[in-house]
């Protein structure tokens, strides 16, 4: 069925018809008639979607309905746009506009009427001949089940039958005898066979991690750029030199990468190389022949392997045999069953083995097929799936891809109607990019792809629904997800490259989305020579990967873009630092062309000093992201965006943003990300934003702290508090600790000295807030409160300049959910510290920085059993390595900065069989940062100490700390 995007479009129209009614006072009957007709059409299409018809007649009138729906939306928004921006408010002109709407809606109603008659005729001749396909699993959409499901779809968890190949690859990579013969190891095979999984298993293997000194993984997209790849690899091999690497010329990148591979044992993975042209562009950066460094590449083409190195060590993963295929399908289709010898219905097993045989032994195809079957436990449901699979396999080239595209296509067609646009929307994002789950939910909501009936603007419910839908896609193995380590919720997701191909293919069929890479943009997108790259007719969404020649993308006054509703611009360079920006000199022309946008995503663009005031022309925007972009002033016209739901102003860190108070006009705002650095001369008023659900980077030096009292719907808050005692007491006792507040998750940075008993009591109230997740305390604390005063939900704690004389570990190690702990800049001024047995049960990251008096640190056996990352920086008197360090079986990385040579020597000496997988790195050397001056990182209103939080290792101790 090819009509799924229409369903959520109709829902958008309902909202448009309701929201714009104030502008259509003279045509209420036409509006209500359109709504009623569209409602009847939607009911019919939902039924048709459940039956999965493939008839051309159905597809044709569905296309007609879609065009009518687009026209209705265009009519409404065109006149809304004129009314909102009108300067002459004469009744005469308004009546003319309303009259025109009435005429156009009358024409639309006539077209809808014709379609309805055709549909009725179609039903009369026997819609039930479409078949007895199952309905769209409304029962499966029970939220009570959602919360109990296991995440069996995590990235790279699925692995059957290839264990021996992993071991073989690991042995060859770590065999020092191969240094004389092989520098390149190649994994070659068809898409979906598990090349990347095999490479990642070997890459993460403990023997490999202990054998090599430096590691880099590069995913080579189809639109690769040699500079981006080399820059990304070098940054991963030498993260301490990121600043220098970003400024290197191309030849400098080549020389430095070449030198590094000769001086260190490096393992570099080049994943998914598509052509020999790629290697021709980067080969001079890799030493030829023997050496300690290795290249591990994956590709679908054998000629790429031999072109890179005719003597390369060649791996060709085999397809799974029938038994292994069934084992994998069985495991994934019944994820809740832990018993490997589970007895299932013989007919189910027969059908399962028949279906899995169509997958050609390709793990990806088998896993996706399992996603279809996992919610269909009955024999007749498997039988219908078998029939559908046969129909989609017909016409597939089995020899070419093992039938995998047929399985992937079936997985899409099998989606309930509300999930199809959710899946297609993932095609907006560049290849291999991790997609933030929260950003995705916000985009879905902005476009009306997810909505709740009678939700009364409850954005939190909307976000929960978004997570629910994303998990549904993950449960079907259509996306791979990464979980938050602290709460187990979905953090990000990504698409397998073959699944992304399916996504883009279906998006093209549905006319849902158009993606444009920088390769197509040597001339204007709309010029005749670029017609094959993109056709703007009826396109509603554009996803564009841009380059420095962005001024050539669009002509200044091209009106053909007025129908585009979503424009997402991504920088070509995904591997460089967050400060990288791209010029956008034609933003004014962009504003003139894209007048009907609901979504505008601009990442890492430079606008000069001022964001153009024409941003206020986008009156229909629901989502605006300017993350990591550069400009100094936000125009007052931002107040025109009355429908805006999400505003992301987390600009480039070195952009000192001035914000106007017209932001308080954005009454529909749900998610507000304020900039990290401000230079406002006035207080930013936020109290009118009563619908806010999430507020990030709130700062009491920028906005009145009492504004928070009026934001009664906020559930997620990140704030910086720099207050006097009376103010601190008021915000804690009259807001943060009240049971009536809606807060569910908070993160605070607090600048205050807690000396007196009264001040310590306020501190106890603060750290005991049930919603507190992250806390950064900056200032003296005369005595750390006992562990029972701390919130049981606290996951991250940073103490700076606390001046604690007693060992804080004795208290902090009892916090049950503490995941990350940082003690910085004289947080502890005592001499001895101990991590006791069974202390810190969930601690993942520990940073000890700038503790000048620390002489002895004891780690008892059983302490910190889940510690993975350890950083020790500037503890000049600590010379002995804790004996218990070797018992930390999960530790993966130890970073040592500015420590005595005796400590570093002893740290290397403790390496043995128990400690062979730890990576040791010394990453800071001020001589490598000649362009950074102390006055760039001093304290003040602009930075507020954020740099020390984000990049603490780049701030020398002699510089001023906030």
DSSP letters of 873-932? ES-TT--SPPGGGGG-TT--EEEEES--HHHHHHHHHT-SGGGTTPEEE----GGG-TT-
| pLDDT band per the 50, 70, 90 thresholds, residue 1 | very low
Highest mean pLDDT among 228-242, 651-665, 725-739, 766-780: 766-780
Greater pLDDT, 446 or 240:
446
Q: Is 221 a residue whose pLDDT tops 60? A: yes
| pLDDT band per the 50, 70, 90 thresholds, residue 309 | confident
In the CATH scheme, what is the code of domain 163-315?
3.40.50.300
pLDDT for the residue numbered 398:
42
**Average of per-residue pLDDT across 443-466:** 73
Buried-exposed string 556-582: b where 16+ CB fall within 10 A, e elsewhere: eebeebbbbbbbbbbbbbbbbeeebbb
**Average of per-residue pLDDT across 150-171:** 66
Q: Is 420 a residue whose pLDDT tops 50? A: yes
Q: In this structure, what DSSP letter does residue 779 have?
A: S
| Tokens linked to 349 | 């097993």
Residue 407 contacts residue 359 (beta carbons within 8 Å): yes
Name every residue whose Cβ is closer than 8 Å to that of residue 101 and which is 6 or more positions away in sequence.
Answer: 24, 27, 75, 76, 79
pLDDT for the residue numbered 234:
92
**Average of per-residue pLDDT across 236-254:** 87
Q: Is 138 a residue whose pLDDT tops 60? A: no
Cβ-in-10-Å burial (0-12, 13-18, 19+) of 859 comes to: buried
The pLDDT tens digits of the residues spanning 703-724 come to 999 999 999 999 999 999 999 9
The pLDDT tens digits of the residues spanning 545-559 come to 876 555 555 555 556
**Average of per-residue pLDDT across 621-633:** 92
Q: Is 267 a residue whose pLDDT tops 90? A: yes
pLDDT for the residue numbered 926:
34
Highest CATH level, class, for 420-428+436-509: mainly alpha
Question: What are the domain boundaries of the chain?
Answer: 4-130, 163-315, 320-413, 420-428+436-509, 795-915
Name every residue whose Cβ is closer than 8 Å to that of residue 281 and which is 6 or more positions away in sequence.
Answer: 226
Q: Is 947 a residue whose pLDDT tops 50? A: no
pLDDT for the residue numbered 81:
57
**Average of per-residue pLDDT across 176-190:** 79
pLDDT for the residue numbered 585:
56
Q: Is 427 a residue whose pLDDT tops 80? A: yes
The pLDDT tens digits of the residues spanning 852-901 come to 999 999 999 999 999 999 999 999 999 888 888 888 888 878 888 888 88
Q: Is 246 a residue whose pLDDT tops 50? A: yes
| Residue 764 CB neighbour total at 10 angstroms | 16
Highest mean pLDDT among 288-302, 338-352, 443-457, 862-876: 862-876
pLDDT for the residue numbered 756:
93
Pairing of strands 566-571, 599-602: parallel
Greater pLDDT, 387 or 429:
429
pLDDT for the residue numbered 370:
83
pLDDT for the residue numbered 102:
64
**Average of per-residue pLDDT across 579-598:** 68
Cα 200 to Cα 272: distance, rounded to the nearest angstrom: 12
**Average of per-residue pLDDT across 201-207:** 87
Pairing of strands 856-859, 845-849: unpaired
Greater pLDDT, 417 or 14:
417
Name every residue whose Cβ is closer than 8 Å to that of residue 402 and which is 6 or more positions away in sequence.
Answer: 190, 192, 319, 359, 360, 361, 362, 365
pLDDT for the residue numbered 899:
87
Q: Is 515 a residue whose pLDDT tops 90? A: no
Q: Is 922 a residue whose pLDDT tops 50? A: no
**Average of per-residue pLDDT across 282-288:** 88
Q: 213-217, 326-330, 730-734: which has the minimum mean pLDDT?
A: 326-330
| Residue 942 CB neighbour total at 10 angstroms | 16
Cα 745 to Cα 695: distance, rounded to the nearest angstrom: 11
pLDDT for the residue numbered 667:
93
Q: 44-48, 691-695, 748-752, 799-803: which has the minimum mean pLDDT?
A: 44-48
Query: Considering the chain, what is the average pLDDT of its residues?
Result: 77
**Average of per-residue pLDDT across 567-578:** 66
pLDDT for the residue numbered 792:
93
| Residue 58 CB neighbour total at 10 angstroms | 20
Q: Is 53 a residue whose pLDDT tops 50? A: no
Name every residue whose Cβ is closer than 8 Å to that of residue 604 and which is 6 or more positions away in sequence.
Answer: 571, 578, 580, 581, 582, 627, 628, 629, 652
Q: Is 144 a residue whose pLDDT tops 50? A: no
| pLDDT band per the 50, 70, 90 thresholds, residue 139 | very low
pLDDT for the residue numbered 14:
52
Sheet of strand 266-273, all strands in order from the earlier edge strand to the far edge: 214-219, 266-273, 294-299, 184-188, 313-315
Q: State what percent of residues in the chain have pLDDT above 90.
A: 30
Greater pLDDT, 931 or 450:
450
Cβ-in-10-Å burial (0-12, 13-18, 19+) of 825 comes to: buried
Q: State what percent of residues in the chain have pLDDT above 70.
A: 69
Cα 292 to Cα 502: distance, rounded to the nearest angstrom: 40
Q: Is 116 a residue whose pLDDT tops 80? A: no
pLDDT for the residue numbered 897:
85
Q: 95-109, 194-208, 700-714: which has the minimum mean pLDDT?
A: 95-109
Cβ-in-10-Å burial (0-12, 13-18, 19+) of 386 comes to: middle
**Average of per-residue pLDDT across 637-650:** 94
Q: Is 93 a residue whose pLDDT tops 70? A: no
């Amino acid at each position: 069925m090819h009509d799924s995007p229409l369903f959520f479009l109709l829902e958008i129209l309902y909202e448009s018809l309701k929201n714009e009614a104030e502008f259509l006072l003279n045509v209420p009957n036409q509006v209500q008639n359109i709504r009623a007709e569209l409602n009847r059409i939607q009911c019919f299409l939902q039924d048709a979607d459940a039956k999965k018809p493939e008839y051309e007649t159905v597809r044709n009138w569905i296309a007609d309905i879609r065009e009518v729906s687009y026209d209705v939306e265009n009519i409404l928004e065109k006149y809304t746009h004129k009314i909102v921006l009108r300067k002459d408010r004469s009744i005469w002109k308004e009546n003319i506009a309303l009259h025109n709407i009435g005429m156009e809606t009358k024409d639309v109603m006539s077209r809808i009427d014709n379609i309805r008659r055709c549909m009725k005729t179609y039903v009369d001749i026997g819609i039930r001949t479409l078949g007895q396909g199952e309905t769209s699993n409304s029962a499966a959409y029970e939220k009570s089940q959602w919360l109990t499901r296991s995440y069996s779809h995590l990235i790279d968890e699925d692995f059957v039958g290839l264990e021996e190949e992993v071991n073989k690859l690991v042995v060859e990579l770590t065999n020092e005898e191969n240094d004389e013969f092989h520098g390149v190891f190649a994994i070659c095979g068809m898409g979906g066979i598990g090349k990347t999984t095999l490479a990642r298993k070997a890459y993460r293997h403990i023997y490999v991690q202990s054998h090599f000194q430096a590691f880099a993984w590069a995913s080579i997209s189809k639109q690769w750029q040699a500079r981006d790849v080399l820059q990304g690899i070098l940054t991963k091999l030498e993260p301490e030199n990121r600043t220098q690497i970003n400024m290197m010329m191309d030849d400098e990148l080549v020389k430095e990468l070449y030198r590094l591979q000769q001086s260190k044992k490096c393992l570099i993975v080049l994943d998914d190389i598509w052509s020999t042209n790629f290697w021709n562009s980067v080969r001079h950066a890799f030493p030829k022949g023997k050496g300690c460094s290795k290249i591990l590449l994956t590709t679908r083409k054998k000629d790429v392997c031999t072109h890179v190195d005719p003597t390369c060590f060649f791996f060709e993963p085999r397809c799974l045999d029938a038994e292994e295929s069934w084992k994998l399908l069985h495991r994934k289709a019944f994820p809740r069953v832990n018993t490997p010898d589970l007895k299932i219905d013989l007919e189910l097993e027969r059908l399962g083995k028949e279906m899995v045989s169509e997958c050609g032994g390709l793990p990806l195809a088998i896993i996706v097929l399992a996603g279809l079957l996992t919610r269909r436990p009955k024999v007749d449901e498997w039988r219908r799936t078998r029939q559908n699979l046969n129909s989609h396999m017909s016409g597939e080239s089995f020899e070419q891809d093992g039938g995998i595209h047929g399985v992937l296509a079936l997985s899409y067609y099998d989606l309930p109607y509300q999930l199809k646009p959710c899946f297609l929307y993932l095609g907006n994002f560049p290849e291999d990019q991790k997609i933030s789950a929260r950003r995705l939910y916000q985009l879905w909501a902005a476009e009306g792809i997810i909505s709740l009936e009678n939700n009364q603007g409850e954005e939190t419910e909307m976000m929960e629904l978004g997570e629910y839908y994303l998990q549904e896609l993950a449960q079907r193995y259509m996306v791979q997800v990464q979980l938050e380590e602290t709460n187990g919720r979905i953090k990000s997701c990504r698409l397998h490259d073959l699944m992304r191909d399916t996504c883009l293919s279906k998006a093209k069929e549905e006319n849902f989305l158009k993606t444009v890479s920088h390769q197509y943009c040597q001339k204007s997108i709309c010029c005749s020579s670029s017609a094959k790259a993109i056709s703007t007719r009826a396109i509603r969404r554009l996803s564009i990967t841009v380059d420095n020649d962005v001024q050539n993308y669009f002509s200044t006054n091209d009106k053909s873009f007025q129908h585009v509703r979503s424009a997402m611009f991504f920088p070509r360079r995904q591997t460089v630092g967050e400060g990288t920006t791209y010029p956008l000199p034609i933003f004014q022309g962009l504003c003139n062309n894209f007048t009907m946008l609901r979504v505008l995503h601009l990442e890492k663009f430079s606008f000069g000093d001022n964001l153009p005031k024409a941003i206020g022309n986008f009156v229909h925007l629901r989502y605006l992201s300017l993350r990591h972009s550069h400009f100094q002033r936000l125009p007052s016209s931002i107040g025109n965006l009355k429908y805006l739901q999400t505003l992301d102003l987390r600009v480039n860190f070195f952009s000192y943003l001035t914000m106007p108070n017209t932001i308080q006009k954005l009454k529909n705002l749900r998610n507000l990300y304020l900039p990290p650095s401000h230079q406002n001369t006035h207080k930013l008023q936020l109290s009118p934003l009563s619908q806010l659900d999430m507020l990030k980077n709130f700062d009491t030096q920028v906005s009145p702290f009492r504004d928070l009292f009026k934001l009664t719907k906020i559930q997620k808050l990140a704030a910086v508090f720099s207050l006097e005692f009376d103010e601190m007491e008021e915000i804690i006792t009259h807001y943060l600790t009240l049971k009536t507040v809606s807060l569910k998750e908070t993160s605070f940075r607090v600048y205050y000295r807690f000396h007196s008993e009264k001040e310590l009591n306020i501190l106890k109230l603060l750290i005991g807030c049930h919603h507190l997740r992250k806390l950064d305390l900056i200032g003296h604390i005369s005595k750390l409160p006992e562990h029972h005063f701390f919130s049981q939900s606290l996951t991250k704690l940073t103490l700076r300049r606390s001046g604690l004389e007693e060992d804080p570990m004795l208290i902090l190690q009892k916090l049950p959910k503490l995941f990350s702990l940082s003690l910085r800049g004289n947080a502890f001024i005592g001499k001895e510290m101990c991590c006791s047995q069974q202390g810190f049960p969930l601690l993942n990251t520990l940073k000890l920085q700038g503790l000048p008096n620390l002489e002895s640190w004891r780690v008892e056996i059983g302490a910190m059993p889940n510690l993975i990352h350890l950083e020790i920086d500037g503890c000049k008197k600590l010379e002995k390595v804790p004996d218990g360090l070797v018992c930390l079986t999960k530790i993966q990385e130890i970073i040592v900065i500015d420590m005595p040579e005796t400590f570093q020597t002893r740290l290397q000496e403790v390496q043995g069989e128990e400690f062979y997988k730890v990576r040791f790195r010394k990453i800071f050397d001020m001589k490598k940062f000649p362009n950074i001056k102390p006055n760039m990182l001093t304290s003040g209103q602009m930075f507020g100490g954020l740099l020390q939080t984000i990049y603490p290792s780049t701030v020398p101790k002699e510089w001023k700390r906030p």
